[in-house]
Structure formats: C-alpha cells, structure tokens
C-alpha cells in the first residue's frame, strides 16, 4: 500500500492485513516448530517478519511468549548498529524488524580476509551486551550473525536471551555470567573465521554440548589470565 509519507525503516509496524497483502518471500523453510521468517516489502521498507500464526495452537501459545520476549529484548537494548532496527509488533504472534541486506557471516566470502575486522565488532557487541547485564544465548549459532554489505556485523534472534537491568538483584552476577558465555561465543567465532576454514568442519562431531563446554572452559581461562594481568600491572 503506497502512502504519501513513507515511514522510516523503524516507523510503525504493519498491521497483519498489510503484511498479508505485501509482496513477500520466505527466509526459512517453515520448520514445524519454528516461526515463519518472511521478507516483506512495505511502503518502500524492506522488513523481516517473524510470525508464529501459521503454527499449531500449542506452538502459537509458546510463540507468543517468544515474540513478547524478543520485542522486550529489542526495546531494552535500544537502537545499536549491530542489531537490526526494531520496527514493532504486528500482533501477539508476530514482530517486524529491518531486513539486513547481506549474508550469513559464516558464509561470507570475506570472512577469512576481514577476520579481524569482524572479530573486533563481535567482541565489541558482546562486551556491550554483557556490560548491560544481557546474555545472548544464541550468538554461537552460525545462522544468527549476519554481515551487511558495508561489512557491519549484525546479531539477530534475541528470543533466546536473558537480561537483568542495572540495580536489580542479580545484575552483577548476570554480567559476569554473560562475560564468560560471550567469551566462549567469541572463541567459537575465532575458529569459524579462520582463513583456512573452521578446523572443526569435517572432523567427527563430538556429542552435543561438548564443543560448547570446551569453549566455556577456554573462555574461563582467558578471562582469568586477563584479570591476573590487570592485577599485575596495577601492583
């Protein structure tokens, strides 16, 4: 629907009727337990809509909680360059964000050549999140880091995240936990973005969570040695 006053990318969210009428293409294959993730063109804006409405009733019930959580996560963090701009909620079962024109970072042809550039951005984003008492549990997932055409890394998929605002009980503990978990996430991306490719690819896959636990242990050691370096330099 064309209007005389095109909204900015983070203007009002479309209604469901507008969304259903708009030209669209699926970004995911409509897995039975996941939301439909759909790219739509609306009033000159390129948006992505995450929608649980086509799922079975029981999945929609859980989906509503996920949509609610993801919307609140975007609102808590506010606009930052390494998140898609949040547009809003269509209804209880769907949300809209800015569409990132780019590719998955893990598949970017530039991932080896611009490794340091990408890692610096991931580190800064994850440090910022931990500093705000925000734990992104799903940034290890290859599919949840995208890269814009200008080389900016963007984190998506905030449904699996957890945060405690400043001055609330548990904020400091969560900050420490997030710092550790995010260090392990960074270690995974350091491996994934090696110019020669991820050394784990092609090797027999260890049981689930083993790589994650190894990365957590490495992250813990790294943070510990950083802390003792700081203490030494303060003496």
Ligand X SMILES: Nc1ncnc2c1ncn2[C@@H]1O[C@H](COP(=O)(O)OP(=O)(O)O)[C@@H](O)[C@H]1O
Which residues are near Mg ion by CB under 5 A? 144, 157
DSSP structural state of residue 56: -
For Mg ion, the closer of residues 137 and 180 by Cβ is 137
Q: Which two tokens stand for residue 6?
A: 């095109």
Q: Does 140 bind ligand X (CB under 6 A)?
A: no
Q: Is 31 left (phi over 0), alpha (psi -120 to 50) or beta?
A: beta
Q: In this structure, are residues 106 and 192 in contact, taking their beta carbons and an 8 Å threshold?
A: yes
The one of Mg ion, ligand X, none whose footprint includes residue 180, by CB under 5 to 8 A per kind, is: none
For Mg ion, the closer of residues 144 and 161 by Cβ is 144
For ligand X, the closer of residues 93 and 157 by Cβ is 157
Q: Does 143 bind ligand X (CB under 6 A)?
A: yes
Nearest alpha carbon to residue 73 among 140, 12, 156: 156
Nearest alpha carbon to residue 1 among 50, 17, 95: 17
Q: Does 100 bind ligand X (CB under 6 A)?
A: yes
Instruction: Count the neighbouring beta carbons within 10 Å of the beta carbon of residue 223.
Output: 15
- Name which of residues 150 to 169 contact ligand X (CB under 6 A): 156-157, 159
For ligand X, the closer of residues 39 and 177 by Cβ is 39
Q: Which two tokens stand for residue 232?
A: 């030494």
Tell me how far apart the alpha carbons of residues 173 and 115 are, in angstroms, rounded to a whole number. Answer: 31
Tell me how far, at minimum, the Cβ of 140 lies from Mg ion, in Å: 11
The one of ligand X, Mg ion, none whose footprint includes residue 223, by CB under 5 to 8 A per kind, is: none
Q: Does 84 bind ligand X (CB under 6 A)?
A: yes
Q: Does 50 bind ligand X (CB under 6 A)?
A: yes
Q: In this structure, are residues 37 and 84 in contact, taking their beta carbons and an 8 Å threshold?
A: no
Residues at the interface with ligand X (CB under 6 A): 27-28, 34-35, 37, 48, 50, 84, 97, 99-100, 143-144, 146, 156-157, 159
């Amino acid at each position: 629907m064309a209007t005389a006053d095109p909204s900015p990318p983070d203007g009002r969210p479309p209604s469901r009727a507008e969304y259903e009428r708009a030209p669209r293409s699926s970004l995911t294959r409509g897995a039975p337990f996941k939301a439909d993730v759909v790219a739509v063109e609306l009033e000159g804006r390129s948006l992505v809509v995450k929608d649980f409405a086509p799922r079975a009733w029981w999945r929609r019930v859980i989906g509503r909680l996920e949509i609610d959580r993801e919307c609140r996560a975007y609102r808590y963090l506010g606009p930052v360059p390494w998140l898609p701009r949040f547009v809003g909620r269509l209804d209880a079962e769907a949300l809209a964000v800015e569409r990132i024109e780019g590719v998955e970072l893990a598949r970017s042809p530039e991932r080896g050549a611009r490794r340091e550039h990408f890692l610096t951005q991931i580190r800064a984003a994850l440090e910022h999140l931990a500093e705000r008492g925000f734990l992104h549990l799903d940034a290890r997932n290859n599919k949840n880091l995208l890269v814009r055409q200008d080389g900016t890394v963007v984190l998506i998929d905030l449904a699996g995240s957890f945060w405690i605002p400043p001055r609330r009980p548990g904020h400091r503990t969560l900050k420490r936990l997030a710092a550790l978990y995010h260090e392990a996430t960074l270690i995974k991306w350091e491996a994934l973005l090696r110019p020669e490719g991820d050394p784990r690819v092609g090797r027999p896959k260890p049981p689930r969570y083993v790589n994650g636990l190894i990365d957590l242990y490495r992250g813990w050691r790294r943070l510990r040695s950083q802390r003792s370096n700081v203490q030494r330099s303060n003496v």
